[in-house]
Chain A
């Protein structure tokens, strides 16, 4: 009987936690709202893209680099990945060079980004120029 009490209290604790997890998620998402790009900050007019949709090989290579580097852990494209920081319309707001700065955590972003994100972006500086270009092309043409 006493063992059963241990089980009941553990189940109660588990259910309480599940309920509070729901409360947590509801508080954080009170009404359905449009996704907001939090990381990219203020929108800026599109610049001259460094490639176009007809450059399919670059796009496919860029998508591969996006996945290999785990970009989806912090970002989403077409609903896939972390919904916190969607990148779907990034090309309408940032130029290719601005996107490059965001990817590699340029010095100008040091004040705008939380330190751990700024630091984690530094490793993308080691990507080759070709890889970076392909990644930017993919982000400009994510569909």
Chain B
């Protein structure tokens, strides 16, 4: 209940922050209207800029504001809103164009006033910004380069759009409106400065040191880090954070990974990372005593939000077991004896990451561990194939609705299991998953 109220509160704060700047233009001395459609178009422009400014807030990863939703959802929201801004901006232009088709003559910067060139340029950059984000993988843009490009395009498009409004001037021309809009602009710019300078500085103040690099089954590596000169950051079991290796926090070369260690031991945290991409393939080259930086932990994929649950059902595929390991390790440290079920799907028995640790955890927890192998060895007596509806029916507890369900794995697997659990009557609010493939 608290979480719902908290979510509503932060949503209201967000709506206030995007609606206030354009609506304050109607307070005090206001210039005369110019016809419904003309002013409709002008208002679209103001609202678009306001949303653009607040896009920086959505990616600032403010821990308390993100907590009720989960940062993955905030990022999805950020993405949908970007498309909405593009649509509103296009509508802003279209209405003016329908009113006056000669506006297209102003596309040539040699003849156009500077603020029109600024407006057109902002729109083009917005198109580039959104297309390179929605189709980054199809366009083969590496993640690190994309981040730098994204920030450059976003900040430039925003400043050009703001300059366009300044140049047109009409609604913000009154002295007090100028002040107000300059203040909003400073606030939006502060968000950029906070994200790109202040937040990395805060991370820089709390470095971690690599104390172990351990090979795991399934082409995975576990990095163990210890806080260097501080107590470490609190996190909840199952959460994730952004890890920076071999660079300063200002370099924008951070990557999100789930903790795989117990949340009760912030003095030594681990990340278990599978070799899947350019960055993850370099994890094995990390040297002991190297410095690493961690952002604040994020995410709502955690058992700690459900202390009254009768027990937990975990379902993972491959390296998706990492956050589940964090939850199991934490439950073991807390001597929790609630009923646990872990259905763990892999291709080959030899590649089952955490295989030995899970056996050890079985002795400390009330844990029913079910391995499911797609290509089992000849003498395998356990479950085989995929994690199917039939397997779930057979294995989940009888009083299934009293449990919380945590799913982590490839998107298709996660979607299928969510659907199966829904068909089995598990309320959607009790099925938890992380949307990893955000960009």
Binding site for B on A (CB under 8 A): 1-3, 5-7, 9-11, 13-14, 16-17, 20-22, 24-30, 36, 38, 67-70, 72-73, 76, 80-84, 114, 116-117, 120
Please list 9 pairs of residues, one from A and one from B, whose beta carbons are closer than 8 Å in the complex, sorted by A's number.
Answer: A3-B435, A7-B76, A10-B80, A17-B47, A21-B43, A25-B33, A38-B31, A67-B105, A73-B103
The verdict on B100 contacting chain A, using a C-beta distance below 8 Å, is yes
Q: Which of B87-114 contact A (CB under 8 A)?
A: 87-88, 99-103, 105-106, 111-113
Report yes or no: B40 in contact with A2, Cβ–Cβ below 8 A: no
Per DSSP, are chain B's interface residues mostly helix, strand or loop, or mixed?
Answer: helix
Binding site for A on B (CB under 8 A): 11, 15, 18-19, 22-23, 25-26, 30-40, 42-44, 47, 51, 70, 72-74, 76-77, 80-81, 84, 87-88, 99-103, 105-106, 111-113, 116, 167, 169-170, 173, 418, 428, 431, 433, 435
| CB contact between B106 and one of A22, A73, A84, A114 (< 8 Å): that residue | A73
Report yes or no: A29 in contact with B102, Cβ–Cβ below 8 A: no
| CB contact between A20 and one of B47, B76, B435 (< 8 Å): that residue | B47
A70-B112, A81-B102 known; A2 and B72 CB under 8 Å? Answer: yes
Report yes or no: A29 in contact with B36, Cβ–Cβ below 8 A: yes
A80 to B26, CA, bound (A): 26
A29 to B30, CA, bound (A): 12
| CB contact between B100 and one of A1, A14, A76 (< 8 Å): that residue | A76
A81 to B105, CA, bound (A): 12
Report yes or no: A72 in contact with B100, Cβ–Cβ below 8 A: yes
| CB contact between A9 and one of B11, B25, B99, B167 (< 8 Å): that residue | B11
Closest to B50 in A: A17
Per DSSP, are chain A's interface residues mostly helix, strand or loop, or mixed?
Answer: helix
Report yes or no: B111 in contact with A68, Cβ–Cβ below 8 A: yes
Task: Enumerate chain B residues within 8 angstroms of A26, measured Cβ to Cβ.
Answer: 36
Closest to B34 in A: A84
